[in-house]
Amino acid sequence: MSTDLDPQGDRRVDAFLRSWTDLASPGQSHLLAEQVLVGTEAGATVIGRDAFVDAARARLAQAGRRDAARMTGWEALVVGEGLLLVTATWAIDAAGCVTLVSDFLLQKASDSGLQCVAYLPRQDVTTLLPSEA
């Protein structure tokens, strides 16, 4: 957790990240802004909310595991009015306890939660998981 946030901010970040692992489930698209900037090794691109959710569902189907990732920690930095830069760490036990790191730029949403406006996965999780035979 971050000392830059008040306890309510800490709870919002924690709730967002715990919900993030269910992004492919129905009713979770509210976690994303209408357009999300996504960074990869190849560069950055803006992706619409529906396309992002579709990609999350495809990745889930490819991985073949629903609850493979579990959050192990996070840090947040307030970077502007209503904006947070969050770095989260995750573990995937099924892959021999692989550690993943993701960065998010989150904004306050109208429902007092948080929405992702930019996402930087530091690894491609599908390349780290053992293939299903």
Task: Report the distance separating Cα 114 and Cα 11, nearest Å.
Answer: 10
Summarize the confidence of residues 107-111 as an average pLDDT. Answer: 87
For 7-123, give the CATH class.
alpha beta
Lowest mean pLDDT of 27-31, 111-115, 128-132, name the range.
128-132
The C-alpha atoms of residue 47 and residue 18 are separated, in whole angstroms, by 22
- Top pLDDT among 104 and 21 is at 104
- For residue 77, what are the CA distances in angstroms to 28, 63, 116, 132? 24, 31, 14, 38
Provide mean pLDDT across the span 36-55.
92
Query: Is 114's pLDDT higher than 90?
Result: yes
In this predicted structure, what is the pLDDT of residue 75? 93
> How sure is the predictor about 38, in pLDDT bands with cuts at 50, 70 and 90?
very high
Instruction: Give one DSSP letter per residue of 66-102, joined into a string.
Output: SS-EEEEEEEEEEEETTEEEEEEEEEEGGGTSEEEEE
Note whether 31 and 115 are within 8 A (CB): yes
**Above pLDDT 90, what percent of the chain?**
39
The domains of the chain are located at 7-123
Cα 17 to Cα 58, 91, 96, distances in angstroms:
20, 13, 22
